[in-house]
Structure 1
Amino acid sequence: MRLVLLTVLTMTAFAANSVLNRAAVGHGHIGAVDFAVVRLLAGAVMLGLLVAGRRALTGQAVWPGRRGRIAGPPSLLVYLFGFSLAYGALDAGTGALILFGTVQITMFAGALAAREPLPARRWLGAGVAFLGLVYLLAPGSAAAGSLRHAALMAAAGIGWGFYSLSARGTRDPLGATAWNFILAVPVAGLVVAFLPAPSPDAPAAPAGLLLAVVSGAVTSGLGYALWYAILPGLGAARGGVAQLSVPVLALAGGMAFLGEPLTLRFALASVLVIGGVAAAVRPPRQP
């Protein structure tokens, strides 16, 4: 029962990132780039403190090794900036569904490129999930009205997919995530330095800064830490199935806190995307 409750709490934290970002950026409390940078800084501080505290308590090394340190920070930045920029127009649920579907398709493509054995159900599941995304973005939908933002969220999903692929096999996922956040900070600083200066009449409001800090330190930093703590008990298959709830929870949060509507197109697309991914991650039957 404890594992179930912790899993629900973790998935809620992941979904809350969509709601927090949409509430801050979509409602004009802070710019998308500023939100991403503050979220990154807050996440780096929180994860760094967690790793340092673990070192003091258990003596475990702070540095997780070089594996994944080259691909990790850039792919993390693609995710963070694409995620924030996309929520300038997308609803929380729609953005989460595009992100979720793109991540899974990217990881499927990564497995294909690595020549991993792919059973027919994974091909079928990936195809159904892709059709769901196509339907969600087809002409006449709300997302189709802002294809640029949908493309930004798809880019964020590809970034997170590459991030996940680069982290496979690591023995210290929490330490690896902490250092990816920390190493991404100076790179983000360079990106911001070369961007045009923000409009002086649209400064970041305290509410926007607070939402970005909560997203970085709590729902990202603590959320990732909790996820890596419970994942060994869940296993890869059940962990993958648990993440199917994130777009639904993001939609529920958007409806409850942001007044976003539930459309028939979104419901049907969710069935296709989530159903396809569920088929793909379902473990094979034991003889």
Structure 2
Amino acid sequence: MLPLRSIAVFHAAARAGSLTRAAMELGVTPSAVSQQIAALEVQLGTALMTRQGRRIALTEAGQRYLEMIAPHVERIAEATLYVRGTLSSASLIVRATPSFATKWLLPRLPRFLDAHPEIELRVDATNEPTDFTREGVDLEVRHGEGEWPGLMAEPVAEERFLPVCAPGLVAAGSLRAEDLGAHRLIHSVKSQVKWAAWFAAQGLPLPASRRVLFDRSHMSVDAAMAGMGIALESTLMLGDALEDGRLVCPVAAPPEMRRATQWLVCPPDRLRHRRVQAFADWLRAEARTWERESLEKLKQAAKKLVCS
């Protein structure tokens, strides 16, 4: 008889990387999780996991076993949800970073939902990269360099990185780059374009000014709008804050710093699914529109500074 309960518990623990987190997910005690895994190891005649402090690590046999069972466990879970009626055959699961999901994706989602009422969309906002062999995610917008072997990865859009702050803190275009050191700088620690690179592009050292650090771009943007300091952020993450005046660029002629940091990612065969292709096509169209409108807005803002 297959030890299905023990297999499910092992899968949950391996995915969580912790007996405690797996126990919370399953609604049991950590000792119950440990007992189920031990029973499975007895049946298989080999060790599957080892403890490393509070975390667990898979043995070579455990890793191989996980690779073999994971797709089937995920399919069983999806089938169970489908039969229960909580997951339809038209469900689409999209993963995105919290900052991208909050600042860019969410304001535009109504257009996708109106265009595709037959698709039941779930957005999973997390910075954890998807393991497409083990998780039921269809498509991901991933932050990074775009190099993930075996996956289709295409840039969402070309972003521009600008200093921004609340207009009540510093007026638009009123500072030179060397003046920024007199103000608190807001650092987005996971950004691919940081203050040190911005100053270096103008031949200046990073000033030893007051600073505050955030590990999420949306927090840096919100802190800047609250008047906490001057942030260096991507136009992709600024939303409508520049257009509606909640944020301004305090530097008259900021250097052109462009980069793609958000990527549309999935296994190539996923694009054969119509719902996945529909979302990918919609995202590409929205990104093209955003790039065109964003560039025009930046040009208009530059003209206003020249005329003022």
Give the TM interval when normalised to the shorter protein.
under 0.3
Which structure: greater strand fraction? 2
TM-score w.r.t. the length of structure 2 is: 0.25
TM-score w.r.t. the length of structure 1 is: 0.26
Rg larger in structure: 2
